[in-house]
């Protein structure tokens, strides 16, 4: 008997042992258990990491996290403060992507913008590179690791509290609690930002914990089970992901302002999956799709857009620009935005290709931009056979995008 046949019999047997109603009840219980993470109020105990060289304002530390398989776990992090703290400052929790770690440089970039920042390593690693010839993680593991990310949600068969994403979500929430406990930080103005896998974590957390003041998922998003790449291949058959962990499960709970930052040629996270997330969230949002951005940690944290968005939210209570309407009449489209800032230009970005958005060819054509009081309207003509489009407007070096629109192909 082949291994495939044996596996098929095992799956059938498991389905007989747990009929559909029982499985549905199990997923419902797991969703309730996940939501309880949003009620974590524990301020984690902090342990200094003096062997890591910091500065007067940026220090390395370990903080205690949830136990895993009966063992104590800690999270390595860099914590930094802006130079000026005479008044309470806003804060941000930073979550790295695949192959990354806690980055001091990312903390310093947020500090320069007036934010307290904590960058966390969510796979039991430090920021010390391993021997280049050594197999496994690029970073040395410390003595109190929790679970390491096992592929794409491939530990979904394990107990919920043993799954990596469960601990990654808890790590981010505990980091917020730590920031909130600091006398220099305004606990009501703490946001969350994550790059790539960190964007997936961010997209997940914001549906669980409404106490974050803002969020910036960079690249990463939910609704990945039908993506036409490795995400869809891994998650299409994963019912536990679809029922419990996909950010779409709780996107209707997302009420804080969110910036969805990415680019049209991202080869990991498609624009339609990202769009499903932000159109499913009732809170204020911004979209910023920057042509040529690239996919990496520096490419994610270098653009000024995440910092400008966060500052506008903590200072004024809303994003600096918001889309207020969109019209599509024949081959003409128009998008309206509300903003106090001066906008300088508009461009239509469109494609006539189909399939995974990161593999399509995207063309830029000029759009007409006009202003009526605080409303800006960008109008453009779609090329024949357009299958997807959005409009970008610029304010100095900042980019704001309209919602991505998918059209049926002829």
Residues 336 and 218 in one domain: no
Residues 377 and 243 in one domain: no
Listed residues 298, 319, 340: the one ending a domain:
319
Tokens of 150: 């096992």
**pTM across the whole model:** 0.92
Structural domain contains residue 387:
yes
Q: Based on C-alpha coordinates, what's the Rg of the chain?
A: 22
Residue in 300, 340, 342 with CA at minimum distance from that of residue 110: 300
Residues 120 and 137 in one domain: yes
Q: C-alpha angle with apex 268: 271 to 273, nearest 5 degrees?
A: 30
Tokens of 135: 């197999």
Cα–Cα distance, 311 to 117 (Å, whole number): 13
Cα–Cα distance, 220 to 198 (Å, whole number): 7
Residues 232 and 373 in one domain: no
Query: Tell me, what's the pLDDT at 130?
Result: 87
CATH number, domain at 279? 3.40.50.1820
Cα–Cα distance, 219 to 260 (Å, whole number): 7
Structural domain contains residue 15:
no
> Which residue's entry shows tokens 């009420």?
255
Structural domain contains residue 21:
no
Structural domain contains residue 100:
yes
Residues 150 and 283 in one domain: yes
Structural domain contains residue 300:
yes
Residues 312 and 361 in one domain: no
pLDDT in tens, the chain (410 residues): 443 333 333 333 444 444 555 777 899 999 999 999 999 999 999 999 989 999 999 999 999 999 999 999 999 999 999 999 899 999 999 999 999 999 999 999 999 999 999 999 999 999 999 875 454 458 999 999 999 999 999 999 999 999 999 999 999 999 999 999 999 999 999 999 999 999 999 999 999 999 999 999 999 999 999 999 999 999 999 999 999 999 999 999 999 999 999 999 999 999 999 999 999 999 999 999 999 999 999 999 999 999 999 999 999 999 999 999 999 999 999 999 999 999 999 999 999 999 999 999 999 999 999 999 889 999 999 999 999 999 999 999 999 999 999 998 76
Q: How crowded is the C-beta side of 32, counted as CA atoms within 13 Å?
A: 6
Structural domain contains residue 13:
no
Listed residues 291, 319, 347: the one ending a domain:
319
Q: Give me the number of domains the chain comprises.
A: 2
Length of the chain: 410
For the chain, first and last CA: distance in Å?
47
Percentage helix, strand, coil for the chain under 3-state DSSP, each rounded to 5: 30, 30, 40
Residues 97 and 81 in one domain: yes
Structural domain contains residue 158:
yes
Query: Tell me, what's the pLDDT at 145?
Result: 95
Residues 302 and 363 in one domain: no
Listed residues 277, 297, 319: the one ending a domain:
319
Query: What secondary structure does DSSP assign to 385-399, as a single string?
Result: T--EEEEEEEETTEE
Cα–Cα distance, 149 to 152 (Å, whole number): 8
Cα–Cα distance, 366 to 349 (Å, whole number): 9
State the residue range of the domain holding 149: 29-319
Residues 311 and 355 in one domain: no
Cα–Cα distance, 301 to 23 (Å, whole number): 41
Residues 74 and 139 in one domain: yes
Query: Tell me, what's the pLDDT at 132?
Result: 57
Structural domain contains residue 11:
no
Residues 145 and 188 in one domain: yes
Tokens of 55: 């500065």
CATH number, domain at 363? 2.60.40
Residues 330 and 312 in one domain: no
Maximum Cα interatomic distance, the chain, rounded to a whole number of Å? 74
């Amino acid at each position: 008997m082949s291994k495939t046949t044996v596996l098929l019999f095992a799956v059938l047997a498991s389905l007989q042992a747990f009929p559909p109603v029982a499985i549905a009840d199990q997923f419902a219980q797991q969703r309730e258990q996940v939501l309880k993470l949003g009620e974590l109020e524990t301020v984690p105990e902090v342990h200094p990491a003096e062997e890591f060289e910091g500065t007067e304002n940026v220090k390395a530390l370990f903080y205690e996290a949830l136990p895993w398989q009966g063992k104590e776990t800690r999270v390595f992090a860099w914590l930094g403060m802006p130079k000026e703290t005479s008044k309470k400052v806003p804060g941000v929790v930073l979550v790295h992507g695949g192959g990354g770690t806690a980055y001091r440089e990312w903390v310093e970039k947020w500090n320069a913008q007036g934010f307290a920042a904590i960058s966390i390593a969510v796979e039991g690693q430090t920021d010390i590179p391993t021997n280049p010839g050594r197999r496994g993680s690029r970073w040395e593991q410390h003595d109190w690791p929790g679970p390491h990310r096992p592929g794409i949600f491939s530990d979904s068969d394990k107990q919920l509290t043993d799954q990596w994403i469960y601990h990654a979500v808890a790590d981010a929430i505990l980091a917020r609690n730590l920031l909130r406990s600091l006398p220099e930080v305004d606990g009501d103005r703490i946001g969350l930002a994550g790059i790539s896998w960190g964007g997936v974590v961010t997209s997940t957390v914001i549906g669980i914990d409404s106490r974050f003041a803002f969020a910036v998922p960079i690249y990463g998003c939910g609704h990945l089970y039908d993506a036409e790449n490795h995400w869809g291949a891994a998650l299409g058959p994963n019912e536990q992901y679809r029922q419990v962990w996909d950010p779409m499960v709780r996107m209707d709970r997302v009420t804080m302002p969110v910036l969805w930052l990415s680019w049209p040629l991202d080869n990991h996270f498609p624009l339609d999956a990202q769009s499903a997330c932000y159109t499913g969230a009732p809170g204020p949002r911004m979209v910023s799709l920057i042509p040529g951005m690239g996919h990496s940690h520096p490419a994610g944290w270098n653009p000024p857009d995440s910092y400008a968005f966060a500052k506008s939210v903590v200072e004024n209570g809303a994003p600096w620009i918001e889309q207020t309407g969109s019209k599509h009449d024949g081959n003409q489209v128009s998008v309206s935005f509300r903003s106090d800032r001066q906008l300088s230009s508009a461009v239509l970005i469109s494609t006539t290709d189909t399939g995974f958005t990161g593999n399509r060819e995207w063309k830029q054509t000029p759009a007409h931009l006009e202003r009526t009081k605080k409303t800006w309207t960008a109008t453009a003509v779609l090329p024949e056979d357009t299958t997807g489009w959005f409009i970008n407007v610029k304010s100095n070096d900042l980019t704001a995008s309209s919602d991505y629109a998918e059209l049926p192909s002829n």
